[in-house]
Structure 1
Amino acid sequence: MVWRAESRLGEDAYHLFDNNCEHFATWCKTGVHASEQVKNAGAVGAGASGSGAAVAGSLGVVSAAGAAAGLSGAGIMSGLAAVGGSAVAGIGVLGAAPAAITTLAMNQVLNDDESLPDDEREARAVGRTMTTVGAVAGTAGAVGTVAAAGSVAGLSPAGITSGLAAVGSTVGMGMAAGVAITVAAPAAAAAAVGYGTYKFWKWISEK
């Protein structure tokens, strides 16, 4: 370890993404030129970009898929039904893509590494599992919010229409925004639950 550090005395090749302090420290200790922070930032950035693109794409799918084209109330309802067989199932189907992308990104951030301490590996394993749980819970929570938020409760066509409109109104917009928020919810829950559980498990382990 010491001889590796000494071998690079006088070097002037710092680079934030390719050769930062963590790269150097990890290389000195293990011989592997790697930075966990850079890897995680890349995975999170890719996951966020991919999830955002999937959410945006879902609106295009809804707009084009139904018997009534466009993002009017009728267009959204017919588009959701065309995607999933019913409007409720359509919400779940569209939410699956961003949730899957986020889950893959979180699994990269919390990947297993045999060189890590056992408590860190255990915390990461729990975090990966809870990422999936969060995605499923986020889907259920999104559907439940739609059912409860509107002026017409429940998951009838009128209930879904009013629920999506109510969700969209939280950002000052209408049903289309409600669809986007609802589709994004499983991905957001996956990231929050997975990483939150990982940090909590580490905190418990250190007690």
Structure 2
Amino acid sequence: MSHSLLSYAWREVAACAEVDPELWFPVRGPAPAAVRICRTCPALASCLLDALTEPDQAWGIRAGVDQDTREPLRAAYAAWRTSVESDRATLREAARTAPSASDREALRALATATATEADALATYVIALALSAPAADLDAARDAYRTAKVTRGWAEWDTDSCTTPAYATSATTDRARLHLLTIAHETAQATAPDPAVPSSLAGAA
């Protein structure tokens, strides 16, 4: 699983850094005080990404999202990332065994573009799940769309290879659509305002 987006410097500026951590681990019921603190935190996105990628972060409130609400998103994210890494491994092996330098270069470029697209989608999914401000959500979606187009051109460049390659498998495509759906459902479940506008159109 890729952790290229994850840095732990965010913990130094997190709003919870100097608050009793027990607040984020309620014995039962909701934790509105913890959620309110999370909503003001400058490290909200990094906190949720950490919760989705680190297996020891499954419990408690993270980024204002309780563990029961977060679990479907964590599972969808893990399944998608696993599939993406499998696709990249296939591309790297194809590059290793390619018969010509031009084929190897094209396949390596496609593997890199696939990783860049995956990181851009992860950023967009986090923004969507957290009901980020419209400007931030639009920026994340646009960055993902750009990365997706770049990956498409890299894929097109492999058409001249002895064995043309595809950046994503059908399994990854299904996992991506499921992840976007779950992210939207998470936003609906956690947004302070129940009316969460859909930003899925054109992103998948």
TM-score normalised by L of structure 2: 0.34
Greater C-alpha radius of gyration: 1
TM-score normalised by L of structure 1: 0.33
Structure having the higher helix fraction is 1
